[in-house]
Amino acid sequence: MSRRYFGTDGIRGTVGVSPITPDFIMKLAHSVGRVLRRDGSRPTVLIGKDTRISGYMLESALESGFNSAGVDVVLLGPVPTPAVAYLTRALRADLGVVISASHNPFEDNGIKFFSAHGAKLPDGWELEVEAMLDQPPAWVNSAALGKARRLDDAAGRYIEFCKSTFPNDLTLKGLRIVVDGAHGAAYQIAPTVFHELGAEVVAIGCSPDGLNINLNVGATHPQALVEAVKAHRADFGVALDGDADRLQIVDRHGRLFNGDELLYVMASDRLRTSQALGLPRGPEMAGVVGTLMTNMAVELALRDAGFEFVRAKVGDRYVLEELEKRGWQLGGEGSGHLLALDRHTTGDGLVSALQILKAVVRSGEELADLLSEVTLFPQTLLNVRLKPGQDWKNNERLQSEIAAVEQELGTNGRVLVRASGTEPLLRLMVEARDGNVARQLAQRLADAVVSV
Among residues 26, 10, 6, the alpha carbon closest in space to that of 146 is found at 26
pLDDT of 8-19, one tens digit each? 789 999 999 999
- Give the model's confidence band at 259: pLDDT under 50 very low, under 70 low, under 90 confident, else very high: very high
Whole-number pLDDT of residue 389? 85
Asked whether residue 285 falls in the same domain as residue 396, the answer is no
Query: Would residue 356 count as lying in a domain?
Result: yes
The whole-angstrom separation of Cα 373 and Cα 208 is 39
Q: Residues 6 or more apart from 289 whose CB is under 8 A from it?
A: 309, 310, 311, 312, 319, 322, 323, 326, 328, 330, 331, 332, 339
Asked whether residue 195 falls in the same domain as residue 275, the answer is no
Asked whether residue 16 falls in the same domain as residue 149, the answer is yes
Q: Could you give the C-alpha distances from 32 to 4, 47, 126, 137, 430, in angstroms and in order?
A: 15, 13, 9, 11, 43
Integer-rounded Cα Rg, in Å, for the chain is 23
Asked whether residue 124 falls in the same domain as residue 49, the answer is yes
Whole-number pLDDT of residue 319? 95
Query: Would residue 74 count as lying in a domain?
Result: yes
Mean pLDDT to the nearest integer, 289-304: 96
Q: Residues 6 or more apart from 6 whose CB is under 8 A from it?
A: 123, 126, 129, 130
Active centre residues (catalytic) = 102
Per the prediction, the chain carries an average pLDDT of 95
Which segments within 194-263 are labelled E, that is strand? 200-204, 236-240, 247-251, 256-257
Asked whether residue 201 falls in the same domain as residue 234, the answer is yes
Query: Would residue 2 count as lying in a domain?
Result: no
0.85 exceeded by the pTM? Answer: yes
Whole-number pLDDT of residue 148? 98
Which of 343, 371, 399 is the C-terminal boundary of a domain?
A: 371
Asked whether residue 235 falls in the same domain as residue 318, the answer is no
Q: Residues 6 or more apart from 124 whose CB is under 8 A from it?
A: none
pLDDT of 148-203, one tens digit each? 999 999 999 999 999 999 999 999 999 999 999 999 999 999 999 999 999 999 99
- Give the model's confidence band at 422: pLDDT under 50 very low, under 70 low, under 90 confident, else very high: low
Asked whether residue 197 falls in the same domain as residue 129, the answer is no
**Residue 369 DSSP class:** G
How many CB atoms within 10 Å of residue 3? 13
- Give the model's confidence band at 423: pLDDT under 50 very low, under 70 low, under 90 confident, else very high: confident
Query: Would residue 161 count as lying in a domain?
Result: no
Q: Could you give the C-alpha distances from 324 to 107, 266, 283, 330, in angstroms and in order?
A: 34, 18, 12, 10
Among residues 347, 318, 263, 353, the alpha carbon closest in space to that of 83 is found at 347
Structural domains of the chain, count: 4
pLDDT of 190-235, one tens digit each? 999 999 999 999 999 999 999 999 999 999 999 999 999 999 999 9
Asked whether residue 219 falls in the same domain as residue 315, the answer is no
- Structural domain boundaries, residue 180: 172-255
Whole-number pLDDT of residue 452? 58
User: 10 - beta bridge partners?
Assistant: 7
Whole-number pLDDT of residue 1? 58
Asked whether residue 118 falls in the same domain as residue 188, the answer is no
